[in-house]
């Protein structure tokens, strides 16, 4: 898991502790209330109401952090950069920059310097670079024309793209999506994996299992009047209060207990603790 970063709050402290226990595996959008209860008849474990609400809260929190450019579970596997950093890298060493970005999935943020129409009226956007001649270009496979038409110069924005090298030193990114469109698709992909994990199947990646095991554990630690169960804005503050009263080792032990319990029920939990 990622290292603890200042200012990310207790949400990532818990996720980092979780990662320390189970290790890594290969592998505005709303988190739906049906994210993990679609096919409970065949489930080896059915989330109760509190666990389901916590799962939704954790998933929504991670979405919000992703959209703000923070370090989230949903950004795992992406190269996170800014348009200025990419332009600087290609200006200094195109071979080195290609090793970092070319054919990689990149979360790139920057300030819009141009909204253009290219060959065949295909839209593309330029973001701020080291100078006006090295403005990274954002190209689309299936552009969301309605959203692009409402963008303005100077707006700060984030895209998820595939690095496509550079032309005359200008970084090119292709198959780009607005970050909010990317994350909406990502969440929809995760929902069936959540239920598959509860059904005893091994999910495609470890995000589903981590979110569920974390939600089950947290539900056992929080008081019944926690705002996490009523949709309040102070859910993460409630978790902060609970975890601040206890040491990290205690959290690890609680997560171990949940892991062992789910394993006995037949869930494909992480192998090592």
Are 131 and 190 within one domain?
no
For residue 11, tell me if it sits in a domain. no
The pLDDT, as a whole number, for residue 252 is 80
- Decide which of 32 and 75 is more confident: 75
- Decide which of 249 and 136 is more confident: 136
For residue 145, tell me if it sits in a domain. yes
Last residue of a domain, one of 137, 165, 180: 180
Is the pLDDT at 237 greater than 50, yes or no? yes
- Cβ–Cβ < 8 Å for 272, 23: yes
Query: What is the overall mean pLDDT for the chain?
Result: 83
Most confident listed range (39-53, 135-149, 204-218): 135-149
Is the pLDDT at 167 greater than 80, yes or no? yes
CA distance 74 to 46: 24
Q: How many independent structural domains does the chain possess? A: 2
Is the pLDDT at 174 greater than 90, yes or no? yes
Largest CA distance in the chain: 61
Q: Which domain holds residue 107?
A: 79-180
SS3 label, residue 109: strand
* Residues 6+ positions from 82 with CB-CB distance below 8 Å: 108, 109, 110
SS3 label, residue 51: helix
CA distance 255 to 246: 13
Are 173 and 212 within one domain?
no
Residue 4 confidence class, pLDDT cut points 50, 70, 90 = very low
Are 66 and 187 within one domain?
yes
Are 102 and 141 within one domain?
yes
Are 186 and 59 within one domain?
yes
Which segment of 51-60, 167-176, 202-211 scores lowest on mean pLDDT?
202-211
The pLDDT, as a whole number, for residue 210 is 87
Residue 2 confidence class, pLDDT cut points 50, 70, 90 = very low
Are 188 and 176 within one domain?
no
Q: What is the CATH number of the domain that holds 121?
A: 2.40.50.140
Instruction: Average the pLDDT over 154-183 and give the result.
Output: 96
CA distance 116 to 113: 10
Are 110 and 174 within one domain?
yes
For residue 5, tell me if it sits in a domain. no
For residue 18, tell me if it sits in a domain. no
Using a 10 angstrom Cβ sphere, with 0-12 exposed, 13-18 middle and 19 or more buried, the burial of residue 6 is exposed
Q: Which candidate, 241, 203, 249, places its Cα nearest to that of 223?
A: 241
The pLDDT, as a whole number, for residue 179 is 95
Is the pLDDT at 10 greater than 80, yes or no? no
Are 188 and 63 within one domain?
yes
Last residue of a domain, one of 124, 152, 180: 180
For residue 99, tell me if it sits in a domain. yes
Last residue of a domain, one of 162, 180, 198: 180
């Amino acid at each position: 898991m990622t290292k603890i970063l200042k200012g990310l709050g207790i949400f990532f402290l818990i996720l980092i502790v979780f990662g320390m226990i189970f290790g890594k595996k290969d592998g505005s959008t709303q988190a739906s209330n049906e994210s993990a209860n679609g096919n409970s008849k065949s489930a080896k474990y059915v989330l109760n109401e509190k666990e389901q609400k916590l799962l939704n809260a954790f998933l929504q929190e991670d979405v919000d952090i992703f959209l703000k450019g923070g370090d989230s579970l949903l950004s795992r596997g992406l190269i996170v950069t800014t348009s200025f950093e990419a332009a600087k890298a290609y200006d200094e060493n195109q071979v080195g920059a290609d090793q970092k970005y070319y054919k990689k999935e990149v979360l790139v943020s920057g300030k819009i310097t141009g909204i253009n129409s290219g060959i065949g009226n295909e839209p593309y956007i330029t973001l701020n670079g080291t100078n006006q001649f090295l403005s990274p270009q954002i190209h689309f496979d299936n552009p969301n024309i309605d959203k692009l038409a409402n963008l303005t110069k100077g707006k700060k924005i984030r895209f998820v793209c595939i690095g496509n090298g550079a032309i005359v030193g200008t970084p090119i990114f292709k198959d780009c999506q607005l970050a909010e469109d990317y994350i909406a698709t990502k969440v929809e992909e995760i929902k069936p994996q959540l239920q598959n994990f509860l059904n005893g199947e091994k999910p495609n990646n470890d995000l589903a299992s981590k979110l569920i095991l974390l939600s089950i554990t947290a539900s056992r630690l929080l008081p019944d009047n926690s705002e996490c169960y009523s949709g309040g804005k102070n859910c993460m503050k409630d978790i902060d209060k609970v975890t601040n009263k206890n040491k990290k080792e205690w959290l690890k032990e609680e997560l171990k207990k949940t892991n062992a319990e789910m394993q006995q029920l037949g869930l494909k939990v992480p192998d090592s603790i």
